[in-house]
A and B are shown apart, each in its own frame.
Chain A
């Protein structure tokens, strides 16, 4: 994910917390959907140095907690690794470790954050679909002329449900990827971040919710199509009735005319 570190991206965004070494910096990384990830990078060669930075990065992370409302992630996810430490929240992360390992850690954090942001976006879109589910469910069973005005909305929600399902399907290999063996530091970090943020479980839940929304809206579409066919059939039948009535009236007039006297 991060191949080079353009200097122009360094130290943008929030300021580096005070008390950290001069080499510490904040990198501003773009995420899908227009979101940004601020990564605080601190070089620390020993476990004691890693521990000493905790107060600074923890305060820096938690001040962002109120600005990103994510269900179930209200505190930083802290992953102590072998001589390193990574703390992550939606939108912000702190990477502390030996200078030689920082690139791998940043890369793993960025990759994970991208996937997590993707999943969170899918979750939000799914939640929106579920909000309309109860109303839509009535038309999944039967549909009539009075709901004709809702068909466009139903069609739009079906397309959205399919789009979300597609997004989740594309995300599945990364979310459910088996553990890498032999592991690298980056793979260990990625696996632990996925585990701690319950990415796989959230993905499974979002998939089942999207499937439900897709099923209901598809059913609604099927009903709407059936209703359209039924309406056309009804119209045809009524047209036949009208023609028959008019024909009958013609016959009656002819008959009566022969019997009537001017």
Chain B
């Protein structure tokens, strides 16, 4: 579908809302009820299957940040905004997200005395990288993404990744070297290989039907995405066959921390296929006979408008939800822990059974959806509006 004006793409909103749901569920369940590594609990033997879909939220967010940036760039260019102005806004937004990420880490994880590079700093850094990358031909951007994925295992080996993760979480010394390594390789969402997602999102957006010169259903893209999924599945299935020297620091083929090659390729391919399918299913065409009375701003009507009408507010306020959902479940955990045990982190991952944390997650999501719609109607101040106000 040709992008027109500033109308939102239902497919992107639904996928991002899906990521939000996954993120909230994973964080609530993981932080309040713990991670099951397969030995005990009702998820024994199936933990990889249970957690398989949960590892998709972050890649979705980061990939979609690249797609959204491409669309935003096209809109700004169409409106006649100058190159210099676009650059300034991009850099400001990138720095805003990085700064917000630092502030978020300090405010949310302070009791853990943790200063981490996380997904916000990754997305902010991705924006800064895209500010440079958008000057390159798409083929070179894909090359960069491929290189980022390809060299990540070697970099982890060189940096001694596992040495920073002996406790099952990222543990580092607050030195310049460790901080830099954490940003590049060893942290939660390091540049290598996570930068590949926004780069790929930016590059593939037109081939998925978004942005300038849209070419939806581009066969090459879909074939390559399917190939990536197959390759990832092959790596997972045949990981035992890979020599130990090549397996390096990843005992399992599919891991999020570190982001293994199979994980990166598999999620990348899967997200592309999912987005292509959603685009075809949801994003309305003026001449396909599926018009609905409820018109979008660009006079095209998506299918399943009910689903979309709930997904869009969530998607629109993804940043705010990210910040708020952490505050909503982490800070009460600190307070409750401190109050009951005298130690802020003592109830970390053992505060309640999974069904309770799942219920809380659902309640939060429902409330978030309602609040987001309210915020839209009343134009409330949100992290997104603050970012636009400061940076645009």
Contacts and interface: CB of A to CB of B under 8 A. Distances in A.
B154 A246 contact: no
Contacts of B160: 257, 262
B175 A250 contact: no
Interface residues of A, number: 21
B187 to A, nearest CB: 12
Interface stretch (A15-23, A192-200, A216-224, A234-242): A234-242
B175 A261 contact: yes
Contacts of B108: none
A259 interface: yes
B52 to A, nearest CB: 30
Interface in A202-237: 231, 234-235
Interface in B152-176: 154-155, 158-160, 163-164, 166, 172-173, 175
B177 A260 contact: yes
Interface of B: 135-137, 139-140, 143-144, 147-148, 151, 154-155, 158-160, 163-164, 166, 172-173, 175, 177-178, 180-181, 184-185, 191-192, 213
Contacts of A262: 160, 163-164, 166, 172
B158 A254 contact: yes
A160 B135 CA distance: 35
Interface of A: 148-149, 231, 234-235, 238-239, 242-243, 246, 249-250, 252-254, 256-257, 259-262
Contact of B181 (A148, A243, A246, A257): A257
A249 B192 contact: yes
A254, A260, A261, most chain B CB atoms within 10 A: A260
A253 B181 contact: yes
Contacts of A239: 140, 143
A261 B159 contact: no
Nearest to A262: B163
A148 B175 CA distance: 50
B136 A256 contact: no
A256 B154 contact: no
Given A250-B155, A257-B160, A235 B139 contact: yes
A257 B144 CA distance: 23
A242 to B, nearest CB: 5
Contacts of A260: 159, 173, 175, 177-178, 180-181
A261 B136 contact: no
Contacts of B181: 253, 256-257, 260
Nearest to B138: A235
A238 B136 contact: yes
B59 to A, nearest CB: 21
14 contacts: A231-B137, A235-B139, A238-B140, A242-B143, A243-B147, A246-B144, A246-B151, A250-B155, A252-B180, A256-B184, A260-B178, A261-B175, A261-B177, A262-B160
Nearest to B177: A260
B91 to A, nearest CB: 18
B184 A249 contact: yes
A142 B212 CA distance: 21
Contacts of B173: 260-261
B137 A238 contact: yes
Contacts of B172: 262
Nearest to B180: A256
Contacts of B184: 249, 252-253, 256
B179 to A, nearest CB: 9
Nearest to B163: A262
A253 B178 contact: no
A249 B143 contact: no
Contacts of A249: 151, 155, 184, 191-192
Contacts of A243: 147
Given A257-B159, A261-B173, A261-B178, A250 B154 contact: yes
Contact of A235 (B137, B148, B164, B185): B137
B163 A256 contact: no
Contact of A246 (B135, B148, B166): B148
A246 to B, nearest CB: 5
Given A149-B213, A238-B137, A256 B159 contact: yes
A217 B113 CA distance: 67
B102 to A, nearest CB: 20
Contact of B140 (A235, A246, A252, A256): A235
